[in-house]
Amino acid sequence: MKSIIKLFTLLTLVTFFSCDKDEPATTGSMEVEFDNIAIVNGIQQQLTMATPGSATYGYTNSLGQKFNINLLRYYISAIELEATDGKVYKDVLEATASGTKGYYLIDESKPASQVIELANLPSGKYNKITFTVGVDSTGVLNGATGGALDPATSKMFWNWNSGYIALKFEGQSDASNGGVSGAETITADNAKGMAYHIGGWKNIPGTAFVYNNKRISFDFDTDAIVDAKSSPHVHMTFDVLGLFNGHHKVDFTGNHNVHKPSDGVDIAHNMEESFSFDHIHQ
Amino acid sequence: MRLYLFAISLLLFTSCGKDDKDEASLFPKLPDYFPSPVYPLNENPITQDGFVLGKDLFNDPLLSSDNSVACSNCHVKAVAFTDPQHALSLGVNERSGIRNAPPIVNMAFMKEFMWDGGVVHLDFVPPNAIENPLEMDEKMAHVVAKLNRHSSYPGRFKKVFPTMDTITSPLLLKALAQFQLMLVSQASKYDKVRQGKSEFTATEARGYETYKQKCASCHTEPLFSNQQFFNNGLDTQFADEGRARITESALDLGKFKVPSLRNVVITAPYMHDGRFKDLNAVLEHYNNGVKYSATLAAQLQSGAKPGIALSVSEKADLIAFLSTLTDYELISDPRF
């Protein structure tokens, strides 16, 4: 009998909590900006994009090869914020045909896409952010998905080997010998084109199913205080040159047409190291 | 006391008031020896309007660049939704593809799609055809735009997906899936025998025994595929790398997804490249044509020479048994 009473209490408790529709006492919001930049000689510069087909090269990789950028797009997903009291806020992840939550497609050609608004955040002092660059299995295995993951509008899906491209870079280099296929801004007859489509969400050792999405964390230098009155702005940067000049020095001669997970491993590693936390506007 | 607890659990069940409309899915009732669907039917409940919309899209050449090729060009109902003629599929402007179009039946139970298994969800299959220059040579975004401009599609989509504003690619893919999911083959003579409603002839029964001994390890009941990848000894050099195209592993060279044998009598030509015109040629391949290579399936290496020895009478029996796998109800069902 005693155990039945215990069970009853438990059940009541469960009912109570599972249907709790009340918001926490106060909530606020936060903006997380992903600012795509170029770090040249240690100095941050705003990114300059070139029109497709342009042979004007504003950037140089660490091997001295000149290049430009036509397209830059990547997914940020599964954002988590950690508060100073140890509580973790997880941005809701949802992928259905009618839309998505928690998947953000950052597109250099669309300034509005570079600022992620996290609304209904419990009030608190946040000092750490974690996010995934790319789309993990739940985003893929739900089948055709709308919103940020719509394959027709995002153009970030690999048909032949189901999965989302985490990061798409297209441009031109005088070192490239062309012949790029399957690119958006580079035509097949472009003798200097480059396409780096980086992705891969499975991990099966001994096969080409390599995991190239990256889960990255940053501590903030000051606390981001969220409450009903203040909505801080967190400024992250992504150094595009780091894709090629990072840990792995990327040679644009002969390795400039990347369209599958196994070919993107080094650049995915560089990509991970090209994100930085910059500052917070309170 | 028990009643009391029961009442509480009932309460628990309903207390959150998430009113699932629980639309009676059109998906057919399955025989008890069938597996449960792999496709998450709850995320794309099949409705009458959705299924008919999917069917009309499947038959509509609007999905191709020059409005000339529909899904049904290569997946023909009369032959269990495969291509009755072309070894290699034929797309817009008579462009020849690289593989044989497989039948589209029992897709609800498949984990992976295409001969190489590169596609992991039924929803993601159509863009491969639509955006392949050798097939429908279109862009998804352009198909979506054409559908939105169409006189009747926007209204029909809205009826199926009431919360939508405009037609989007996932809605197109969900509708196509609704039609394809309904193509369940479960009413062949073989099924009737299993359900005790019919009996095999003596030849069919002998063929069934031969099949169980020599073929069932790969073409496993009741789907007649174990959904794994094998090299069944067609080649020593692999113009089409098969599964290795996806895994890039030398261990997968020349391996292809085991095709279902349901309806096989009417789905010629055979193999990933349609190289065999009839079942006699297939059986003669297993009997006397299997070529050794490093990735050849172990099951085909148990005898003195590679392959599966089949006597003349075993072949005849096998063909009689395979003939019982044809689902005439499916291919004559006016709904499809």
Mean pLDDT on A144-167: 95
What CATH number is given for B4-181 in this structure? 1.10.760.10
Mutation target to probe the A interface, by most A beta carbons within 10 A, among B1, B13, B41, B174 is: B174
CA distance A140 to chain B (A): 8
Report pLDDT digits (tens) over B297-308: 999 999 889 999
Report pLDDT digits (tens) over B241-253: 999 999 999 999 9
Mutation target to probe the A interface, by most A beta carbons within 10 A, among B113, B173, B176, B181 is: B173
Which residues have a Cβ under 8 Å from the Cβ of B231 and sit 6 or more positions away? Answer: B242, B253, B254, B255, B256, B293, B295, B296, B297
Looking at per-residue pLDDT, the higher value among B97 and B323 belongs to B323
C-beta atoms of A151 and B140 within 8 A: yes
Mean pLDDT on A150-177: 95
Per-residue 3-state assignment (H helix, E strand, C coil) for chain B:
CHHHHHHHHHHHHHHCCCCCCCCCCCCCCCCCCCCCCCCCHHHCCCCHHHHHHHHHHHCCHHHCCCCCCCHHHHCEHHHCCECCCCCCCECHHHCECCCCCCCCCCHHHCCCECCCCCECCHHHCHHHHHCCCCCCCCCHHHHHHHHHHCCCHHHHHHHHCCCCCCCCHHHHHHHHHHHHHCCCCCCCHHHHHHCCCCCCCHHHHHHHHHHHHHCCCCCCCCCCCCCCEEECCCCCCCCCCECHHHHCCHHHCCEEECCCCCCHHHCCCECCCCCECCHHHHHHHHHHHCCCCCCECHHHHCCCCCCCCCCHHHHHHHHHHHHCCCCHHHHHCCCC
> Does residue B14 register a pLDDT over 50?
no
pLDDT confidence of B182, banded at 50, 70, 90? Answer: very high
Report pLDDT digits (tens) over A23-52: 446 899 999 999 999 999 999 999 999 999
Mean pLDDT on A178-185: 89
Looking at per-residue pLDDT, the higher value among A16 and B139 belongs to B139
Q: How many residues does chain A have?
A: 282
Q: Which residues of A touch B141 (CB under 8 A)?
A: 152-153, 155
Return the number of CB contacts < 8 Å for A and B: 112
> Does residue A15 register a pLDDT over 50?
no
Nearest to B170 among A7, A146, A161 (CB): A146
Give which of B262, B39, B249, B255 is closest to A141, Cα–Cα.
B39
Report pLDDT digits (tens) over B37-62: 999 999 999 999 999 999 999 999 99
Q: Is A111 helix (H, G, I), strand (E, B) or coil?
A: helix
> Does residue B329 register a pLDDT over 70?
yes
Note the pLDDT of residue B24: 57
CA distance A224 to chain B (A): 35
Q: pLDDT averaged over chain B?
A: 91
Query: For residues B325 and B323, what is the distance between their CA atoms, to the nearest angstrom?
Result: 5
**What are the tokens at A143?**
């089948």
Q: pLDDT averaged over chain A?
A: 91
Note the pLDDT of residue B4: 47
Note the pLDDT of residue A188: 85
What are the CB-based long-range contacts (under 8 Å, 24+) for B329-335? B329/B187, B330/B80, B330/B105, B330/B183, B330/B184, B330/B185, B330/B187, B330/B263, B331/B77, B331/B78, B331/B79, B331/B80, B331/B263, B331/B266, B335/B51, B335/B182
pTM: 0.90
Q: Which of A10-24, A199-213, B55-69 has the lowest mean pLDDT?
A: A10-24
CB count in 10 Å sphere of residue B43? 15
> Does residue A135 register a pLDDT over 90?
yes
Note the pLDDT of residue B25: 81
Note the pLDDT of residue B210: 98
Give which of B287, B274, B298 is closest to B82, Cα–Cα.
B274
Overall fold of domain B189-332: Cytochrome Bc1 Complex; Chain D, domain 2 (1.10.760)
Which chain A residue lies closest to B7 (C-alpha atoms)? A8
Phi, psi (deg, nearest 5) at residue A174: -70, -10
Query: For residues A52 and B268, what is the distance between their CA atoms, to the nearest angstrom?
Result: 47
What percentage of chain B carries pLDDT values higher than 70? 93
Looking at per-residue pLDDT, the higher value among A205 and A14 belongs to A205
Contact (CB, 8 A) for A102 and A78: yes
pLDDT confidence of B310, banded at 50, 70, 90? Answer: very high
E strands, A102-250, are 103-107, 115-122, 124-133, 157-158, 163-173, 193-199, 214-226, 233-239
> Does residue A12 register a pLDDT over 90?
no
Domain ranges of chain B: 4-181, 189-332
Note the pLDDT of residue A2: 46
C-beta atoms of A209 and B247 within 8 A: yes
End-to-end CA distance of chain A: give it in Å, rounded: 56
Q: Which uninterrupted H or E stretch holds A245?
A: helix A242-245
What percentage of chain A carries pLDDT values higher than 70? 91
> Does residue B70 register a pLDDT over 80?
yes
Give B106: exposed, middle or buried? Use CB within 10 Å, 0-12, 13-18, 19+: buried
| Among A23-32, A149-158, A175-184, the range of highest mean pLDDT | A149-158
Interface of B with A (CB under 8 A): 1, 5, 8-9, 11-12, 15-17, 40, 43-44, 118-124, 127-128, 131, 139-141, 143-144, 161, 163-164, 168-171, 173-174, 177, 246-249, 251-252
> Does residue B277 register a pLDDT over 90?
yes
Note the pLDDT of residue B15: 40
Mean pLDDT on B9-28: 52
Report pLDDT digits (tens) over A209-268: 999 999 999 999 999 999 998 899 999 999 999 999 999 999 999 888 999 999 999 999
Query: For residues B80 and A17, what is the distance between their CA atoms, to the nearest angstrom?
Result: 51
Q: Which residues of A touch B163 (CB under 8 A)?
A: 98
Q: Which residues of A touch B1 (CB under 8 A)?
A: 1, 4
Would the CATH topology of B4-181 be identical to that of B189-332? yes
Looking at per-residue pLDDT, the higher value among A187 and B134 belongs to A187
Contact (CB, 8 A) for B174 and B43: no
Q: Is A215 helix (H, G, I), strand (E, B) or coil?
A: strand
Note the pLDDT of residue A25: 63
Looking at per-residue pLDDT, the higher value among B15 and B316 belongs to B316
Note the pLDDT of residue B96: 76
Is the bond into B269 cis (omega within 30 degrees of 0)? yes
> Does residue A111 register a pLDDT over 80?
yes
